[in-house]
Amino acid sequence: MRDLGCPDRCVAAAEVLVSGGEVAAEAIVRELADELSPVRWMDAVPVLQRIGDAAFDCLVQGLLDASTATAKDRVGLAFTRLGAGFLDRYVTAMSHTSALVRCQAVVGIRLCEGAVVSTVSDLLPLLGDSDPEVAQQAQDTLAIRGKEIEAGLVPLLQQIRREGPGRQRARALTVLAALGGETVLPAQDVAAIERLVRVKLPDDRPTALWACWNHWIAVPSGDQAGIISILGLTDPRPVTFALGNDIVDSDGHDDEPG
């Protein structure tokens, strides 16, 4: 088992473990759940992939049995990286009674290139999942991977905004904003945001910046039009300090790979 991490013995160890099928998969998952074990998820995953469905089932049980946060993380890292060959199993797992399993299944789908195309109808209901972490992972997955199918996804999200279900509506708005910004938001949502800004502005005050690398430039001038022109900006609109910070933060992170 522990030869998986040894360069000169890992190939032979993998062959022996694959031939062991479900029994070997159970043993591997036990090692992953052991915080003191030297077996790493990246060494275990290729073997678990080759064992197949039995390994998937063992990992699900491993998530359920894990008694510490570290054990859950170690088993979860292997579970979420089985790849597109297990896409159907991930979809089924998204309806599991355990919120942890549902959450990890969503992450597994997010890590599969192109998977959102065939799983969007399964992901959308999870925007209203009763567990906040599951709903957050579904939101993040649709926001990150949704750009691959933006033309088809945006109308579905807009429909949720108009018609519900109610539990999905708030996160649908967030995904819409992430995918296309104001141009894809329903007019009533834009109007509601503008009203909220107007209500908050009279008492709005600058606060400490909380993003990774945001910087503000303070200049001794009230010539807003001149400053905007120098910076090459157009069409200024009032926003709260918090919203302005979030916009700059989002814009900066959008330049990151992935």
Looking at residue 252, its pLDDT comes to: 66
Looking at residue 211, its pLDDT comes to: 65
Q: Are 110 and 140 in contact (CB under 8 A)?
A: yes
Looking at residue 92, its pLDDT comes to: 98
Query: 159-211, pLDDT tens digit by residue?
Result: 999 999 999 999 999 999 989 888 899 888 889 989 999 999 999 988 877 76
> Does the pLDDT value for residue 114 go beyond 80?
yes
Looking at residue 7, its pLDDT comes to: 77
Query: 30-39, pLDDT tens digit by residue?
Result: 999 999 998 9
> Does the pLDDT value for residue 55 go beyond 90?
yes
* 181-220: b (≥16 Cβ within 10 Å) or e: eeebbeeebeeebeeeeeeeeeeeeeeeeeeeeeeeeeee
What is the pLDDT averaged over residues 14-22?
92
Complete DSSP assignment for 169-208: HHHHHHHHHHHHGGGGS-HHHHHHHHHHHHHHGGG-----
Looking at residue 243, its pLDDT comes to: 86
Looking at residue 258, its pLDDT comes to: 41
Query: 116-145, pLDDT tens digit by residue?
Result: 889 999 999 999 999 999 999 999 999 999
Looking at residue 30, its pLDDT comes to: 96
Task: Give me the percent of the chain exceeding a pLDDT of 70.
Answer: 93
> Does the pLDDT value for residue 250 go beyond 50?
yes
The number of C-alpha atoms within 13 Å of 217 and in the hemisphere containing its C-beta is 8
Distance CA 193, CA 49 (A): 47
Average pLDDT, the chain: 90
> Does the pLDDT value for residue 257 go beyond 50?
no
- Higher pLDDT among residues 6 and 27, named by residue: 27
> Does the pLDDT value for residue 254 go beyond 70?
no
